[in-house]
């Protein structure tokens, strides 16, 4: 559904801007600006939305008249391969969209560095995004333009719960956002900042709901979350769980089982300081940290103490 929305959106956007946009002119002058294609774009898409984000970033470049080299995440190439087949079947001329699978270090660096690359559109981790930005800024022999980089790189998203909130809505929202997709989305709630008047109520309710949820084979619909993507992710998330045990109080989960896949139980840490690593670093797994705020202003200050800016929510009934 999200992939369809992206295709629909970019198709309609280009219909609006394809003939240029009039600019206010002086008498006897007529000015307008036009969008022009840049050239060859490298699309480096993430594994966690292997159809939607891959399709959206690819189509955005194509409708604007660019040709694309699509390098999907090395863990999810098949969805992208099928998408390329479907696009050709739909009538896209051969050579407009080119499927270039492979590892980031091997294929990604080569594509980013190439003199004929005009722009790079990347979605993924902060470290890789910064690496691409740095490499793309260097002029390569034969290159006659400045490469443009679009990079969307993770988040550390907060749900702030005010004392005037619907507490059941708050608890359900935290659980859904933190543990859906096993927390493997840059928009997942990974920190809950709760005003102290309602902190215990919200925390206890979240723990209660979470303890009913199990991680396991998603073919069994009684399981709430499936596995995390691979061994490396499993190891990273489990190491953060160990850090969380030092920094706060483990309230739920904390266990992983990689004997038949990479399953991690939805995990909650309470009573963390705003400076705790669990509250500051992107974990990308089913782990949420709770911090108590003195009041609403304090909660907003804690929510803003992050280097990431992506999504967030304030749950309150007080409009002001």
Q: List, by residue number, the catalytic residues.
A: 152, 186
3-state secondary structure of 170: helix
Interstrand relation of 97-99 and 312-315 (parallel, antiparallel or unpaired) = unpaired
Is residue 17 within a helix (H) or strand (E), and if so which, with residue range? helix 2-17
Q: What is d(CA 211, CA 172) in angstroms, rounded to the nearest whole number?
A: 13
3-state secondary structure of 225: strand
The first and second tokens of residue 280, run together, are: 């500051």
Phi, psi values for residue 279, rounded to 5°: -90, -10
Q: What is d(CA 229, CA 307) in angstroms, rounded to the nearest whole number?
A: 25
Tell me 92's DSSP state.
P
CB-based contact 237:285 (threshold 8 Å):
yes
Q: What is d(CA 237, CA 260) in angstroms, rounded to the nearest whole number?
A: 17
The first and second tokens of residue 53, run together, are: 């984000």
Residues 6+ apart with CB under 8 A from 143: 115, 116
Q: What is d(CA 78, CA 51) in angstroms, rounded to the nearest whole number?
A: 10
For 204, other C-beta atoms within 10 Å of its C-beta total: 13
For 185, other C-beta atoms within 10 Å of its C-beta total: 20
For 294, other C-beta atoms within 10 Å of its C-beta total: 12
CA 232 to chain centre: 18
């Amino acid at each position: 559904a999200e992939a369809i929305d992206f295709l629909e959106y970019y198709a309609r956007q280009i219909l609006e801007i394809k003939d240029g946009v009039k600019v206010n002119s002086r008498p006897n002058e007529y000015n307008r600006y036009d969008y022009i294609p840049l050239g060859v774009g490298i699309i480096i898409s993430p594994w966690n939305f292997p159809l939607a984000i891959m399709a959206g970033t690819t189509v955005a470049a194509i409708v604007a008249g660019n040709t694309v080299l699509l390098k999907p995440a090395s863990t999810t190439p098949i969805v992208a391969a099928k998408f390329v087949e479907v696009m050709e079947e739909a009538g896209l001329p051969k050579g407009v969209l080119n499927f270039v699978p492979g590892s980031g270090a091997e294929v990604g660096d080569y594509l980013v560095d190439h003199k004929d690359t005009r722009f790079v559109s990347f979605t993924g981790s902060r470290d890789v995004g910064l690496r691409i930005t740095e490499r793309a800024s260097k002029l390569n022999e034969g290159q006659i333009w400045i490469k443009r980089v679009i990079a969307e790189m993770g988040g550390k998203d907060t749900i702030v719960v005010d004392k005037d909130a619907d507490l059941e809505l708050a608890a359900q929202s935290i659980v859904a956002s933190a543990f859906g997709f096993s927390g493997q989305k840059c928009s997942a709630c990974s920190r809950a900042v709760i005003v102290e008047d309602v902190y215990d109520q919200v925390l206890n309710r979240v723990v209660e709901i979470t303890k009913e949820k199990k991680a396991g084979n998603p073919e069994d619909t009684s399981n709430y979350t499936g596995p995390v993507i691979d061994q490396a992710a499993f190891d990273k998330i489990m190491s953060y769980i160990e850090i969380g045990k030092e920094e706060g109080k483990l309230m739920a989960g904390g266990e992983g089982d990689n004997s038949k896949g990479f399953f991690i139980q939805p995990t909650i840490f309470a009573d963390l300081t705003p400076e705790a690593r669990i509250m500051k670093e992107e974990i990308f797994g089913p782990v949420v940290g709770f911090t108590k705020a003195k009041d609403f202003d304090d909660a907003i200050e804690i929510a803003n103490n992050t280097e990431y800016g992506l999504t967030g929510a304030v749950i309150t009934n007080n409009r002001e």
